[in-house]
C-alpha cells in the first residue's frame, strides 16, 4: 500500500478571520507575556509589522510576527508559535524562513530575536538556521525570566 505524503503547510499573510485561532495558539504555547487579542489585531493592520500563518487543510497550525521599524535595517522576529499538536514537523522553520524573507523584502540587513533562555527547542532551531548569540537580557519576561538575544545577517 502506498504511503500518503502530507503536503507542506501553506504560509500566507494573516487575516482578521484568523484572529481567533492565532489567539488560541498564543495562549496555549506561551506561559507568560502573551499578546492580547487587541495587540494581535493591531499588529495585523499596522505597516510596522507583518503577521503570517501556517495553514494546513484549512487549519492554522502556527503564526509568526515580524517587526519592521521604518528606516531601520534590522527586522525583528517578535513572536513565533506553533500549535503543540503540530510541533516537530518543520512548521516553525517554515515560518522562520518566511519571516526572514519578509525582512529581506523590506531591505533589512539583519534579523534579530529574543528567546527565553530555557526554550531549548527554539534555541536549537535558531542556531541550526544560522543565528548567532549576541547577548542576554536578565528579567526580560514579565515573570523575571532571562532572554537570549540572537541575530542573523540577511543576504
| Distance (Å) of CA 33 to CA 17, 48, 123 | 23, 20, 18
Nearest Cα to 84, choosing from 74, 92, 76?
92
Of the candidates 122, 111, 95, the one whose C-alpha atom is nearest the C-alpha of residue 12 is: 95
Q: What would the mean pLDDT of 65-87 be, rounded to a whole number? A: 91
> In the chain, what are the domain boundaries?
10-153
Residue 6 pLDDT class (50, 70, 90 cuts) = low
Mean pLDDT computed over every residue of the chain: 91
pLDDT score at 137:
92
pTM as predicted: 0.90
Q: Is residue 86 scored above 80 in pLDDT?
A: no
pLDDT at 30: 86
Q: Which fold has domain 10-153?
A: Aminopeptidase (3.40.630)
Residue 142 has pLDDT above 60, yes or no: yes
Amino acid at each position: 500500500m502506498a504511503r500518503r505524503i502530507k503536503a507542506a503547510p501553506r504560509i500566507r499573510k494573516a487575516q482578521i478571520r484568523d484572529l481567533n485561532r492565532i489567539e488560541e495558539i498564543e495562549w496555549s504555547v506561551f506561559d507568560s507575556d502573551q499578546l492580547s487579542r487587541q495587540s494581535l489585531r493591531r499588529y495585523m493592520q499596522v505597516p510596522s509589522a507583518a503577521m503570517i500563518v501556517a495553514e494546513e487543510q484549512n487549519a492554522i497550525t502556527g503564526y509568526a510576527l515580524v517587526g519592521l521599524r521604518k528606516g531601520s535595517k534590522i527586522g525583528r522576529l517578535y513572536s513565533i508559535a506553533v500549535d503543540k499538536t503540530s510541533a516537530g514537523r518543520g512548521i516553525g522553520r517554515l515560518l522562520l524562513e518566511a519571516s526572514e524573507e519578509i525582512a529581506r523584502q523590506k531591505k533589512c540587513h539583519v534579523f534579530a530575536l529574543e528567546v527565553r533562555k530555557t526554550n531549548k527547542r527554539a534555541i536549537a532551531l535558531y542556531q541550526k538556521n544560522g543565528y548567532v548569540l549576541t547577548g542576554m537580557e536578565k528579567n526580560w519576561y514579565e515573570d523575571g525570566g532571562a532572554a537570549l538575544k540572537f541575530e542573523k545577517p540577511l543576504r
